[in-house]
Chains A and B, each alone.
Chain A
Amino acid sequence: MTIAAVLWVVAGVIAFAAVLLVLARLIKGPTLIDRLIASDVMLTTLILVVGAEMVISGHTRTIPLMVVLAATAVLGSIAVARFVSRAGADASADPGGDHDRG
């Protein structure tokens, strides 16, 4: 094995450990916000892995996939955050829970 191949394996093992930890937080929660953050990290990790795969396999075919994921990753977070925010504002007992003065 070349030095580069050894480094690839090391990177892969580290990334796998990271994904397991993120998955643990995704399952455990405890709040919806925690899961939202965890899924965000998962998606960014996916983008990283797609990029790493290109380096390892020596091609550039999945660059459009990376671009699209990077551009749209934010939408899911915003949609859920917006939903949580409104549900929370309705459910919360205190009237000061929402103070958007835009």
Chain B
Amino acid sequence: MTGITVTSRGGRGARVRVGLRQKLPLLVALVLLWMMLWGSTTALTILTGIVVALIVTQAFYLPPVELSGRFNLFWFVAFVLRVLGEMIVASFQVALLAVGPRSRHRGALIKVDLHTRSDFILTGTALAVSIVPGSVVVEVDRANSVLYVHSLSVRSPAEVEAARHHVLSLERGLLRAWGSRDEWEAVRS
């Protein structure tokens, strides 16, 4: 199980070995999902879950996710709560915009140059941006870590900048929880 080697990130990275330790988060998540689907937490469910998770990860191979090796649970929970809170507020804002009087709102496609060079942080930030209603990632430039974000309602250049800063602050929140030490230090100031 430890003999798999892959090339990472479009030739930029070196070849890495995928150990059981790197696969562990995925395995745990799959076992948890299995338990949830059965709606039970018995030993038998956990055991069959482990078997199924091992079969699934062997049969359907995924490129390994390169984690930074640093994880702060507190800031991660804070990040998730923040995104969920924004999602709730923005859901109602978009709903009000839909039923309210026809206002002169126009969209904007904003280019956001992220600081990170990690696929994982890039994906996480894009996901967080897209979960919050009113903004969706239309295009991604993975090589340069650039997101092109469409914002639903923009009235002034200042709001364009605000939307850009919002995306960057989401990236900052994720870096604080899960980014590598170097990248977090870089955006900390």
- Does a CB–CB distance below 8 Å link A and B in the complex? yes
Whether A101 lies near B141 (C-beta < 8 A) is: yes
Task: Tell me the residues in window 87-102 of chain A with beta carbons closer than 8 Å to chain B beta carbons.
Answer: 101-102
The contact string, 1 if C-beta is below 8 Å from chain A, for chain B 1-38, is: 00000000010000000000000000000000000010
Q: Please, which residues of chain B bring their CB within 8 A of the CB of A101?
A: 141-143
A67 to B10 CA separation, bound complex (whole angstroms): 35
Q: Which of A61-102 contact B (CB under 8 A)?
A: 67, 101-102
Which residues of B have CB within 8 Å of A67? 37
Q: How many residues of A contact B (CB 8 A)?
A: 3
In the complex the two chains form, what is the Cα distance from A101 to B12 in whole Å?
A: 14
CA gap between A41 and B6 in the complex, in Å? 39
Contact with A along B138-154 (1 / 0, CB 8 A): 00011100000000000
In whole angstroms, what is the CA distance A48 to B124 when docked?
27
Where chain B touches its partner, the secondary structure class is mixed
- Give the residues in chain A near B10, CB-CB below 8 Å: 102
Contacts of B141 in A (CB 8 A): 101
Q: Are B37 and A102 neighbours in the complex by a CB distance under 8 Å?
A: no
CB distance from B130 to the nearest CB of A (A): 13
User: B173 CB to closest chain A CB, in angstroms?
Assistant: 25
Residues facing A in B121-173 (CB within 8 A) are: 141-143
**Separation in Å of the B116 CB from the closest CB of chain A?**
16
The proximity string for A residues 26-51 relative to B, scoring 1 for CB distances below 8 Å and 0 otherwise, is: 00000000000000000000000000
Q: Which of chain A's residues have a CB closer than 8 A to the CB of B143?
A: 101-102
Chain B residues within an 8 Å CB radius of A102: 10, 142-143
A102 to B145 alpha-carbon distance, docked (Å) = 11
Q: Give the Cβ gap from A33 to chain B, nearest Cβ, in Å.
A: 12
A102 to B10, CA, bound (A): 8
Q: How far is the CB of A36 from chain B (nearest CB, A)?
A: 14
In the assembled complex, the Cα of A101 lies from the Cα of B148 at a distance in Å of 14
Given the complex, which residues of A lie within 8 Å of B37, measured CB to CB? 67
Min distance, Cβ A2 to any Cβ of chain B, angstroms? 28
Q: How far is the CA of A67 from the CA of B36 in the complex (A)?
A: 11
In residues 5-24 of chain A, which contact B (Cβ within 8 Å)? Answer: none
Mark each residue of chain B from 36 to 75: 1 if its CB lies under 8 Å from any CB of chain A, else 0: 0100000000000000000000000000000000000000
Bound-state Cα–Cα, A101 to B10, Å: 10
Residue of B nearest to A60 (CB): B39
Q: Specify the chain B residue showing the minimal Cβ separation from A64.
A: B37
Chain B residues within 8 Å of A, Cβ to Cβ? 10, 37, 141-143
A-B pairs, 7 with minimum CB distance: A102-B142, A101-B143, A101-B141, A67-B37, A101-B142, A102-B10, A102-B143
7 contacting pairs across A/B (C-beta < 8 A): A67-B37, A101-B141, A101-B142, A101-B143, A102-B10, A102-B142, A102-B143
